[in-house]
Structure 1
Amino acid sequence: MTKAPMNTTTERAGDSVLVRVAGEVDLATAAELRGVLAAAADLGDARVLVADLSDVTFFGSAGLTVLLTAHERGCETGVPFVVVPGVESSARRILEITEMLEVLTTADSVDSAIS
């Protein structure tokens, strides 16, 4: 079985920065995602950083650490970090099971996250 690699894209959405994540977030890809989110947060004048996890097919515990780190950084810098876990994604299931939906700021869609 071939493993689905993680792919990310970063784009401006008005005065927000949007990072779209697809594929697998696991121990092998978590450091890459951490770097992508840190670089996106460093873009400067963004008022919110959004991570769209709707197309994530696997989300491991290493991904939780990445999200918590980005959340804490947002609290420290005053630039909110918002997660869009998707309706039926692997990320949503893990965030529900671990009760991280109660800790992280989440949105049902990218549009609602950037508005």
Structure 2
Amino acid sequence: MNAAQLTVNNRPTDKGALIEAVGEVDLTTVGQLREPVLEAVNNGSKSAVIVDLSRVDFIDSAGLALLVEARKRLAPDARPLHILLTPGRQPERVLRLGRFDTIMNLAYDFADIA
């Protein structure tokens, strides 16, 4: 059985903090994503947080819980959480089925983020 792998990069953009993930987000890898996401959430900025899952093949409940936690922490300051996705991939299907689009912005292109 292969262990899940995840690569995470983060950088500032003119639209907010961008956290890019590549691989699988599950119980064993979510910690790699948690640190940069929560750092962006807690940085004292008023800008958006953008999590790019467009190159993520799989996300489980641990990853979903992280997104919900980030959204809850951003809400008091009315800061948006944007999730970049690739149409048809597992993360997009799970987030749409779970109605995450009602609490965060799901987008397919960085240019679509306001």
Same fold flag (TM > 0.5) = yes
Structure-1 separation of matches of 2:48 and 2:96: 23
User: Secondary structure of the residue that 1:27 maps to in structure 2?
Assistant: coil
TM-score, normalised relative to structure 1? 0.85
TM-score, normalised relative to structure 2? 0.86
User: Please, which runs of 5 or more residues in structure 1 have no aligned partner?
Assistant: none
Structure-1 separation of matches of 2:79 and 2:100: 19
Indicate yes or no: 2:74 matched with 1:74. yes
Match of 2:26 in 1: 26
Structure-1 separation of matches of 2:56 and 2:112: 19
Where in structure 2 are the equivalents of 1:1-115 lying within 5 Å?
1-45=1-45, 47-113=47-113, 115=114
In the comparison of the two structures, how many residue pairs are matched? 114
Which segments of structure 1 move beyond 6 Å, counting only runs of 4 or more? Answer: none
User: Please, which runs of 5 or more residues in structure 2 have no aligned partner?
Assistant: none
Q: Contact 1:52 / 1:86 at 8 angstroms: preserved in 2? A: no
Give, in angstroms, the shift of residue 105 of structure 1: 2.0
Structure-1 separation of matches of 2:105 and 2:84: 9
The share of aligned pairs that are identical, in percent, is 25
- Specify whether residues 20 and 46 from structure 1 end up closer, same or farther in structure 2 by C-alpha distance, changes over 3 A only: farther
